[in-house]
Structure 1
Amino acid sequence: MAKGFTFKQFHINDHGCGMPVSTDGVLLGAWVTLSPSGPILDIGTGSGLLALMAAQRTAKQGNPITAIEIDNGAALAAQRNVTDSPWTGRIKIAHQTVQAWANQQPAGSVGTIVCNPPYFNHGEQADSQARATARHTDTLPHHELLAAIRHLLSPTGSASLILPVYEGEQLIEAARVHQLYCQRLCKVKTTERKPPSRLLIELGTNPSSCQSERLVIHQGGQYSKGFIALTKAFYLKM
């Protein structure tokens, strides 16, 4: 059996990646609003999970997708996963920083941005350099991420991210400095009794009221109806 994680329409081999396939990534890939046309950008693609989920969801319209990855091992893994997928012709892996990539692109040229960003600002880093890069903000501080998003995002586009609650609230506040505003927010709880552990955040360039949602992953000892409805197009046993 192939190593990694098999979804309904593609397989992910995350060997060599700093962060393996996670519930966070699958939630974001299923939740993000995808533009009906125009380029899609996956920042920090890792194994290529979010790019492949976006490709599956936009199979009919065929949006071009760029997946950026700074770590060499992860970029190679993402390329293998894309090559083995049904959408190899639509996804381009860019092995560079988003800061450098953004400087090469016209302003407002991307309709959808999706990012599962690093969020540890301090503390002991992982022994693996790849894992440290994926988890810590040293190579992608949030203010630089937001500046890149603001430059790239089209006036009608949106950028979606997932972060722990505290870091997510901080990012929403910081986004205002870059004239990016929360237009959709989902508070994710592992169970009904626990407080939210993650925020799914959608940013746009137009100030407007933020649509608030919530999602509980487990109810009554099994996956909730909301979680199943959101992810059933991807998980094999949903």
Structure 2
Amino acid sequence: MAKGFTFKQFHVNDYGCGMPVSTDGVMLGAWAALPTSGQILDIGTGSGLLALMSAQRTTSNGNPITAIEIDRGAATAAQKNFSDSPWSERIELAHQSVQDWASQQPAGSVAAIVCNPPYFNHGEQAECQSRATARHTGTLSHHDLLSAISYLLSPTGSASLILPVYEGEQLIQAARAHQLYCQRVCEVKTTERKAPTRLLIALAASPSEPQHEQLVIHESGEYSKAFVALTKAFYLKM
């Protein structure tokens, strides 16, 4: 039995990664705005989930995809997952920091960015270094992340991220100092009666009135119709 998580068109082995395959990642990979042409960048790819989802969604367009990962164990796992996928020739792994990678690229050269970034600015870090890297902002602050996005994103591009509500609101405010503006924001609730726990955020270089959306994951003890519609191209049993 293969370790990890099997989707309809690919398998993700997340052994050695700081963060395993998660609902957060799947929601972001399905929700993110992707272009019909141009380069797609996955910052902090981990197991490679978002890069693989982006590849599946752009199969007919053939967009080149670069996946950046600083952790050696996660980079090894991601490369294996890419090599085993139907899109191995389209996905390139960069085992380095996004800051270093960005310094080697022309400004405005990326059409779309997807990122499930480190969440926590404070608090006790996980003892496992790879998990700490994935969860905490010590190796990638939100300031540095926004700086990289602002430099790399094309004038018509979109950067899609997912964060807890408080951190997401803070990032949206901080983005303005980097000439990035919230284009879409989706509040994610586990059930209708609970408060939102996550924000799906799309940033762009041009100011606009943000589109507000809401996604409820569970209704009446089952996945909601909206969640199924969003993720059914990926989950096996939907």
Tell whether the structures are fold-level matches, with TM greater than 0.5: yes
**After TM superposition, where is structure 1 displaced by more than 2 Å over at least 4 residues in a row?**
none
State the 1:119 CA deviation. 1.3
Letter in 2 for 1:192: E
Percent identity reads: 77
RMSD: 0.3
Structure 1 distance, partners of 2:230, 2:121, is 30
What residue number does 1:98 align with?
98
Q: 1 CA distance for matches of 2:115 and 2:6?
A: 21
SS in 1 for 2:195: coil
Amino acid in structure 2 at the alignment position of 1:214: Q
CA distance in 1, matches of 2:219, 2:122: 34
Structure 1 counterpart SS, 2:21: coil
In the aligned structure 1, how far is the partner of 2:82 from the partner of 2:65?
11
TM-score (norm: length of structure 2): 1.00
Q: Does 1:177 align with 2:171?
A: no
- The Cα of 1:93 is off from its aligned counterpart by 0.5
TM-score (norm 1): 1.00
1:170: Cα distance to partner? 0.1
SS state of the match for residue 77, structure 1?
helix
1:186 aligns with 2:186: yes
**Equivalent runs, 1:1-238 vs 2, <5 Å:** 1-238=1-238
Give the deviation of 1:123 after TM superposition: 1.1
What is the CA–CA distance in structure 1 between the aligned matches of 2:11 and 2:174, rounded to whole Å? 36
Question: Which amino acid is the alignment partner of residue 69 of structure 2?
Answer: E
Give 1:190 deviation, angstroms: 0.2
Which runs of 5 or more residues in structure 2 are unaligned? none
Give 5+ residue unaligned stretches, structure 1.
Answer: none
CA distance in 1, matches of 2:35, 2:209: 20
Deviation at 1:81, TM superposition (A): 0.2
Report the Cα distance in structure 1 between the residues aligned to 2:150 and 2:97, rounded to whole angstroms. Answer: 16
CA-to-partner distance for each residue in 1:137-162, whole Å, 9 max, x for gaps? 00000000000000000000000000
Aligned length: 238
Q: What SS does the aligned partner of 2:99 have?
A: helix
SS in 2 for 1:61: coil
- State the SS of the aligned residue for 1:185: strand
Matching residue's letter, 1:237 = K
Give SS of 2:201's match. strand
Give, in whole Å, the separation in 1 of the partners of 2:213 and 2:116. Answer: 19
